[in-house]
Structure 1
Amino acid sequence: MADSPVTVVLPCLDEAVSLPGVLAAIPDGYAALVVDNNSSDGTPEVARRHGAAVVAEPTPGYGAAVHAGVLAAATPLVAVLDADGSLDPGALPALVDDVERGADLAIGRRRAVAGLRWPWHARWGTAAVCWRLRTRYGLAVHDIAPMRVARRDALLGLGVTDRRSGYPLELLVRAAQAGWTVTERDVAYGPRTGGSSKVSGSVRGSVIAALDFWKVIS
């Protein structure tokens, strides 16, 4: 992993069905690191068979899994990507390029592919929080997407403490407070592959986290 310029952290909860396709699409030269968050479907074994390094994070929650992966990474840059097949790892090099050109954080703005049913309440929760980030902090973001790239040491230095679904929101607030340069690129957002349980939790849980975090950014 140390010979790669980028570690792709993949937080996983029961992603055995989607992982082979996701790992096959990881760009050449990038190191895949699967963080198993108590899967019961053989996710770690599937990950190893397809060439990924694996670490276990027993504390439940998206933020816990992401943090464990960032800690375990041994590269200057880290990317974080959902492992459910909804996002194409092929979009990562453009985000990496943004960081290498001087951005502190590069994120992917999800753009639904034709025919995708994206629940209105999930879109509303994201839009409302991002509107507040733009108006209060001048942070030009429109998504709290599960695809992002940053420098590992700087990311750890932000001191994000949320270990559940509020992690991406806290990350953006702390980035804004630290004066980070944040870039955003459109990325295709498609349906999940298989029966993923998603470390980030249910839509309802994500919306509740967004509403709770609204108190922090209000």
Structure 2
Amino acid sequence: MDVVDVVLPCLDEAAALPGVLAALPAGYRAIVVDNGSTDGSTEIAARHGATVVPEPHRGYGAAVHTGLVHATAEIVCFLDADGSLDPAELPKLVAFVASGRARLAVGRRVPVARGCWPWHARAGTRVLAALLRRRGLTVTDIAPMRAARRADLLRLEVRDRALGYPLELLLRAAAADWPVVELDVAYRPRTAGTRSRMAGSVRGSVRGTVRGVRDMAGVLR
């Protein structure tokens, strides 16, 4: 199979990056988009063979979009850099896209340890997923891990540059009548020492959850 690019938005993930990058399957090429790290994440990513791209504008969506623009592979995956998701699960998502069975394959988080997905974060996700189902998209999560063809994603023209990016992506995919498949992926505690102030911040505190839901509700409006 051709090379697959994996975009990892990153803000102070020095503790997690070595394990995440080492776990990437053969043929999966890391693009770490640094969103202003001060803990040496960029140097660590480079030492482990990743392409490092800076994105000075803070925001999950900004980092993801920059990674997509810099990707060159036909199929691109997206993965949190905090160690909570297993890169070894990416090929099962890619298989659906490569075979044409889906235009977008997304992960449905299944917690593997108590406390790795706090009640407030889970409740916020359930509310947003319910709103998506009302719009005809039968998903139960907000695509923390995903795979699609680069050209398709660029044509969707997702505009959000904050935490609302994954929700807007799903909404635009539904509006375009894309076949979307949702697959179970293991959800683990983030690597000790990571601060995960990007996508992971939605689960990190009640305040983070409120901010994430607010950003995503703005996309729905």
TM-score (norm 1): 0.93
1:205 and 2:208 correspond: yes
**Aligned partner of 1:116: which letter?**
G
Q: CA deviation at 1:132?
A: 1.5
How many angstroms apart in 1 are the aligned matches of 2:166 and 2:67? 14
Partner of 2:64: 66
Bigger shift: residues 117-126 or 8-17:
117-126
Alignment of 1:37-186 (within 5 A): 37-102=35-100, 103-136=102-135, 138-186=136-184
- Give the 3-state SS of the residue equivalent to 2:190 in structure 1: coil
Ranges in structure 1 where 5+ consecutive residues have no aligned partner = none
Change (3 A) 1:197 1:177: same
How many angstroms apart in 2 are the aligned matches of 1:6 and 1:206? 31
**Aligned partner of 1:6: which letter?**
V
- Give the 3-state SS of the residue equivalent to 2:95 in structure 1: helix
Partner of 1:28: 26
How many angstroms apart in 2 are the aligned matches of 1:216 and 1:7? 27
How many angstroms apart in 1 are the aligned matches of 2:141 and 2:26? 27
Q: CA deviation at 1:105?
A: 0.5
Q: CA deviation at 1:117?
A: 3.8
Q: CA deviation at 1:71?
A: 0.2
On the 8 A contact 1:169/1:210 being kept in 2, the answer is no
**Aligned partner of 2:188: which letter?**
G
- Give the 3-state SS of the residue equivalent to 2:211 in structure 1: helix
RMSD (Å) for aligned C-alpha atoms: 1.6
On the 8 A contact 2:89/2:185 being kept in 1, the answer is yes
On the 8 A contact 2:160/2:219 being kept in 1, the answer is no
String of CA shifts for 1:60-91, please: whole Å, max 9, x gaps: 01000000000000110100000100000000
**Aligned partner of 2:31: which letter?**
L
Q: CA deviation at 1:114?
A: 2.9
On the 8 A contact 1:165/1:201 being kept in 2, the answer is no
Question: Structure 1 stretches (4+) deviating beyond 4 angstroms?
Answer: none
